[in-house]
Amino acid sequence: MVTQNATLKSKEELMEKLRQPEVITGSEILLRSLVLEGVDCVFGYPGGAVLYIYDAMHGFSDFNHLLTRHEQGAIHAADGYARASGKVGVCIATSGPGATNLVTGIATAYMDSVPMVVITGNVMSSLIGTDAFQEADITGITMPITKHSYLVRDVDDLARIIHEAFHIANTGRKGPVLIDIPKDISANKTLFKPVTEVSIRGYNPTVSPNKLQVDKMIKAITEAERPLILAGGGVIYSGAHEELHEFVKKTDIPITTTLLGLGAFPSGEDLFLGMPGMHGTFTANKSIQKADLLINIGARFDDRVTGKLSGFAPYAKIIHIDIDPAEIGKNVPTDIPIVGDVKTVLQIANLQAKRADKADAWRAELLASKAQYPFRYKDSEDELKPQWVVEMLHETTNGDAIVTTDVGQHQMWAAQFYKFNKPRSWVTSGGLGTMGFGFPSAIGAQMANPDRLVISINGDGGMQMCAQELAICAINNIPVKVVILNNQVLGMVRQWQELIYDNRYSHIDLSGSPDFVKLSEAYGVKGFRATNKEEAKAVWEEALRHPGPAVVEFVVRKEENVYPMVAQGSTIDEMIMGDAE
């Protein structure tokens, strides 16, 4: 306790010291402001336009800076850090190609409402607009994929802008904010005065809902015979998982969660129906199509969830709770709109929530369907099935790991067969579907949670997009356990070409990929490979025992498909069941 108190005291003393007015450079203002915002880890890659910033970092120990091997690795790591911690992720890159290499990661965070502050350098203010060496209009380039972008014109504005950026990123509908700092601004000096409060004219997200709308929702629940909850990532981002659990317990309404909502509600509970949509459960999809009341809590009616919009939830009165009013009614007409923070809305609703007494037959129907139609696959003793591998990962970790994924078939198998009981245990690219995201995001998640097991599940395609980040795992002993489900093919593309394009396979062969064990060992990371169940169990146990990072390649069946599947243009109850049909 003495040590803890001493640590707290030293931290308070540091903060007090940093708040003292002093004439310093823009670079020092940036670093001080990041510490005052509670930043403890930054991911970045230096270059000419940010050299003053990196010079100020020399010997700086008030936060950790992780040097990635590519700017895309840096921003995906910052994204994973934010999703797994609930804090704002921060990354830094230089001007021109350094900044443009961040674009995919910014779009990934924007689509999934992830709070990030992205700091880029730019050429000298006097050179902006002259096509100077390594100049790019990064604020213009990223305007459609950020909540807000700043080009700093005066060093006197820098402290205010940094604190505004954090406020914007982490309030309302969360998302990335970009700060572009010309090189001379980072070098200029001014009197630093700490910003104690942020007030932005015209930016006042609605947190508290209209009470009358909440009353309408409660009344609709009491009248419904087939009510259903659809919960999304907004529940997790607002920290509302406990309130959601209370709401479900009080109303006794069955619940389904979107891909980004996994972990918002314990997967082991009876009323949980699984994930809906293109690769969702039979019961979740059927329940949406039969419901007479659909309560959307913090989800955005993505096309992968709704399928054919004109046939989505045809019998349901729609209630939509969202902090972003632009989402309500955008895709699905809404009968009872409730604008507000999910946590606040549910706290108010829970004061008067009552059991949906007319829904007893409905509950019994859905529980029976859930038991009859779980996710299924045909197992094999001769070759590894990817679904079996994910089940093994779940069983050996008791579902307590933080799991990140890349994008493709392995992502859907992880969502289907790894069971999540805690929020912020599932990190995946939903809206943008970004290959290359899985592994670096795991690095960020591990930095945010050094005491938790982090597993990164990847395909052999996406793993090669950011494999260079194995170097920083080795150098910094970041103990991520990297799983590669290697089917030697772009699996999801192959599946579509088989089922929709009449087996016309075009440019999907990945058989020339590297030996992942040798690749791992070249970076100084322990590598393993398994081709059957016995080997799989043995090498995975060894990887778990290994104290540092490890890569485990599971060679799985190339022809395996993800089922159920809803083809584009179909309603979500028109499912191809595959092996389970």
The DSSP code sequence of 480-499 is: -EEEEEE-SB-HHHHHHHHH
On whether the CB atoms of residues 472 and 499 are closer than 8 A, the answer is no
Q: List residues with catalytic annotation.
A: 71, 133-134, 183, 492
Residue 18 burial (10 A CB sphere; 0-12, 13-18, 19+): middle
Residue 158: HSE in the Cβ half-sphere, 13 Å Cα cutoff: 28
R_g of the chain computed on alpha carbons: 24
CA angle, 268 then 425 then 491, to 5°: 90
Buried b (16+ CB within 10 A) or exposed e, 275-300: bbbbbbbbbbbbbbbbbbbbbbbbbb
The CA distance from 162 to 157, in Å, is 9
Instruction: Specify the 3-state DSSP secondary structure of 376.
Output: coil
On whether the CB atoms of residues 326 and 194 are closer than 8 A, the answer is no
**How many CB atoms are located within 10 Å of the residue 94 CB?**
24
On whether the CB atoms of residues 495 and 506 are closer than 8 A, the answer is no
Alpha-carbon distances of 376 from 280, 373, 559, 577, rounded to whole Å? 12, 8, 16, 9
The CA distance from 293 to 138, in Å, is 44
Please name the residue ranges forming H helices in 329-408: 342-350, 360-372, 386-397
Q: Please enumerate in sequence order all residues whose Cβ is within 8 A of that of 346, keeping only pairs 6 or more positions apart, or say none.
A: 240, 243, 244, 246, 247, 297, 321
